[in-house]
Amino acid sequence: MGDAADPREMRKTFIVPAIKPFDHYDFSRAKVACNLAWLVAKAFGTENVPEELREPFYTDQYDQEHIKPPVVNLLLSAELYCRAGSLILKSDAAKPLLGHDAVIQALAQKGLYVTDQEKLVTERDLHKKPIQMSAHLAMIDTLMMAYTVEMVSVEKVIACAQQYSAFFQATDLPYDIEDAVMYWINKVNEHLKDIMEQEQKLKEHHTVESPGGQKVYISMKEKKSAFVCVCYLDVSS
């Protein structure tokens, strides 16, 4: 029987993208890329995204970047919106969402309105050629909000935060979904800061001697990761 594999060798590795300087960061491109990646993942499932849709951009012979034609066609045809919207909005399987207007109306029934610079987005805006990307970004943003409303509630966030933060001020409590998410992130960061401070104190004052005489420091890294995951599951379940 062969030796068991070293757990360290079994760990997944991830490619970390280069971090661009702030003054070189293209916020508009990043917004488009993130929105499209999210929409495609929701439409097809994270593990089943077609290869040609994994990267939404291509570079032409003049070194100019554009959104790939297949992605543009799927946005103009509403296929991505109908796929994602049917899952997020839990539409009746017997009456699937068909067309941009059906998705817009389904969102409106949830009290969510697709607006671009304070103007309601229409099916006509989403059919325009060349593509009116600001209207499509507004549509995706509204679907994201619908997904957030389905996954998170103010009550769940407060219940989660109460598990690790005993002190609450009435003025600090979140009043809507967006505020609740920010509130939860802040509470998680405060708690992680406390854990890191405790870890530092343990390193300074409570070094443990192993049987072999080697000094072993109590690490909190696993606990930090588990804590964040548990918090996320508690809020979204």
In the prediction, which pLDDT does 177 show? 74
105 and 46 housed in the same domain = yes
Q: For residue 130, is the peptide bond before it cis, meaning its omega torsion is within 30 degrees of 0?
A: yes
Largest CA distance in the chain: 74
Q: Is residue 28 part of a domain?
A: yes
The 3 state secondary structure assigned to 75-99 is HHHCHHHHHHHHHHCCCCCCCCCCC
> What is the distance, to the nearest Å, from the Cα of residue 208 to the centroid of all Cα atoms in its chain?
40
In the prediction, which pLDDT does 3 show? 52
60 and 158 housed in the same domain = no
117 and 167 housed in the same domain = no
35 and 140 housed in the same domain = yes
Those residues of the chain that have pLDDT short of 50 are 1-2, 7, 10, 210, 213-223, 225-226, 229, 232-237
**Nearest-angstrom CA–CA distance, 146 and 110:** 8
DSSP 77: H
> What is the distance, to the nearest Å, from the Cα of residue 113 to the centroid of all Cα atoms in its chain?
21
Q: Is residue 112 part of a domain?
A: yes
In the prediction, which pLDDT does 187 show? 77
Structural domain harbouring 53 = 11-151
Q: What six digits make up the tokens of 186?
A: 């802040």
Domain termination site, one of 103, 135, 151:
151
39 and 124 housed in the same domain = yes
140 and 158 housed in the same domain = no
50 and 119 housed in the same domain = yes
Residue 51: is it exposed, middle or buried by C-beta count within 10 angstroms (0-12/13-18/19+)? exposed
**Nearest-angstrom CA–CA distance, 51 and 53:** 5
101 and 68 housed in the same domain = yes
178 and 146 housed in the same domain = no
Q: Is residue 61 part of a domain?
A: yes
133 and 212 housed in the same domain = no
In the prediction, which pLDDT does 229 show? 47
Q: Is residue 166 part of a domain?
A: yes
137 and 158 housed in the same domain = no
Over the stretch 99-118, which tens digit does the pLDDT of each residue have?
A: 899 999 889 988 889 998 88
Domain termination site, one of 120, 136, 151:
151
Q: What six digits make up the tokens of 5?
A: 């594999």
Domain termination site, one of 113, 135, 151:
151
The pTM for the full model equals 0.63
In the prediction, which pLDDT does 136 show? 92
In the prediction, which pLDDT does 215 show? 47
Which of these, 184, 193, 176, lies nearest to 233 by C-alpha position?
A: 184
Q: Is residue 2 part of a domain?
A: no
Q: Is residue 5 part of a domain?
A: no
In the prediction, which pLDDT does 137 show? 92
84 and 16 housed in the same domain = yes
Cα→Cα distances 128→28, 82, 217, Å:
20, 18, 61
Looking at the structure of the chain, the number of domains it has is 2
Q: Is residue 186 part of a domain?
A: yes
Q: Is residue 1 part of a domain?
A: no
